[in-house]
Amino acid sequence: MSAQFLQFLLAGLTVGAIYALVALGFSIIYNASHVINFAQGEFVMVGGMCTVWLGNAGWPLPAAIAAAVLLAALLGLALERFAVEPARGASVVTLIIITIGASILLRGLATLVWDKKLHPLKPFSGEAPIQIGGATLLPQSLWVLGVTLVVVLLLSWFFGRTLLGKALLATSHNRLAAQLVGISVRRVLLVAFGLSAALGAVAGILIAPITFTSWDVGVMLGLKGFAAAVLGGMGSGPGAVVGGLALGIIEAMGAGYLSSAYKDALAFVIILAVLFFMPSGLLGRRSADRV
């Protein structure tokens, strides 16, 4: 395997892991509420920016990270409680605009609370690159891949083995039946939003040492996370992971071998291609609609 190919592959996996985390956030919210949360990217931003800010204020890194994730989760809860809940049952256009409005609001708040500059975050364990088969890998990439793996494992444990996780899945399959067995749909929605926001924040924190963070870093990451979710199949957990990694690798290969200027466009070309030809994505549920 050529060194260059390996280099691209590793870079693609790293950013792909981030996309996977963001995509998981989209899928979890979509499953619980059938809402596409356009503000998902902003949770990524909050994670990174808050950690930087607290770190600069003297907090030790682990504490800053925990606080940032907690803040993002709270924002997720607030979004559900004050924006999505009041508009329950509204049309798709209405819900889209509400979450877009929320994302603009959050970005505006970010510029007020923090600033518009680009901020670096110190890598978790140093900057000395690691050599693997002719390619270089940043230690932070290992953190990204490692933490993502742990998160995915935790999520499968949560959804597969805890009652609360199963309740979330049950609600996404059949809301009425879930209510009839006593599952509080309101609470399920809150958990879904809080969890998704936390996932987004984790993604933002992991990637900040590599790509830096700023008030509007969430826009592109959010859109690409969405592309990954659609690619893998909206609503499918494994699909989000597969879609994220696939998108990251496609982007890296495209940028390396084709044109780096159009790297960002790839994700959107993929969205269009998937929606046109394979709307249920790679792993999504094929629904047999009974009219």
Partner 1 sequence: MLERLASSRNAGLAALAAVVALLPLALVNNYYYDIAILVGLNAIVCVGLNLLIGYAGQISLGHAGFFGLGAYGSAILTARYGWPPLAALLAATLAVALLALAIGRPILRLRGHYLAMATLGMGVIISIVIATEDRYTGGPDGMSVPPLTLAGVALTGERLWYWVVGVLLVLAVWLARNLIDSPHGRALRALHGSEVAAEVGGIDSARHKVRVFVISAVYAAVAGSLAAHYAGFITPAKVTFFHSIELVTMVVFGGMASTFGAVVGAAVLTTLPQALTVFREYEMVVFGAVMMLTMIFMPKGLVPTLAALAARRGKSP
Partner 2 sequence: MSLLRAEGLSKEFGGVRAIEALDFEIQPGTVFSIIGPNGAGKTTLLNLLTGIYRPSAGRMWLEGRPLAGHAPHLFAAAGIGRTFQNLQIFFNMSALENVMAGRHLHERCGLAAALLRTPRLARAERACSDRAAELLAFVGLAAYERSAAEAMPYGALKRLEIARALAAEPRLLLLDEPAAGRIEFCGEDVTAAPPEARVRRGMVQVPEGRQVFGPLSVVDNLRLGAYRRGRAESVASLERVYAMFPDLAERRAQPAGTLSGGQQQMLAMGRALMARPRLLLLDEPSMGLAPRLVAGIFACIQALRDADLALLLVEQNARSALAIADRGYVLETGSIVLAGTGAELLADEGVRTAYLGL
* Binding site residues, partner 1, CB under 8 A: 36, 83, 86-87, 90-98, 100-109, 111-112, 219, 223, 226-227, 230, 261-262, 264-265, 268-269, 271-272, 275-276, 279, 291
In sequence order, what are the beta bridge partners of 78?
none
Residue 180 binds partner 2 (CB under 8 A): no
Closest to partner 2 by CB, 163 vs 288, is: 288
Residue 176 binds partner 2 (CB under 8 A): no
Residue 291 binds partner 2 (CB under 8 A): yes
> CA torsion 201→202→205→207, rounded to 10°?
-110
Burial class (CB in 10 A: 0-12, 13-18, 19+), 122: middle
Residue 288 contacts which entry, partner 1, partner 2, none (Cβ below 5-8 A, type-dependent) = partner 2
The full DSSP string for 97-141 is HHHHHHHHHHHHHHHHHS-SS-B----TT--PPEEETTEEE-HHH
Residue 290 contacts which entry, partner 1, partner 2, none (Cβ below 5-8 A, type-dependent) = partner 2
What's the min distance (Å) between Cβ of 290 and partner 2?
Answer: 6
Closest to partner 2 by CB, 128 vs 291, is: 291
Closest to partner 1 by CB, 72 vs 102, is: 102
Residue 161 binds partner 2 (CB under 8 A): no
# of chain residues touching partner 2 (CB under 8 A)? 3
Q: Which of 4, 14, 223 lies closest to 99 in space, CA to CA? A: 223
Only segment of 63-71, 158-166, 255-263, 283-291 that touches partner 2 (CB under 8 A): 283-291
The full DSSP string for 44-78 is HHHHHHHHHHHHHTT--HHHHHHHHHHHHHHHHHH
The residues, any chain, with a CB within 8 Å of residue 44's CB and separated by 6 or more, are 22, 200, 201, 203, 204, 207, 217, 218, 221, 222, 225
Residue 288 binds partner 2 (CB under 8 A): yes
In sequence order, what are the beta bridge partners of 131?
136
Residue 290 binds partner 2 (CB under 8 A): yes
Cα 276 → chain centroid: 23
What's the min distance (Å) between Cβ of 77 and partner 1?
Answer: 16
Residue 128 binds partner 2 (CB under 8 A): no
What are 241's two structure tokens? 């992971």
Residue 100 contacts which entry, partner 1, partner 2, none (Cβ below 5-8 A, type-dependent) = partner 1
Residues in touch with partner 2 (CB under 8 A): 288, 290-291
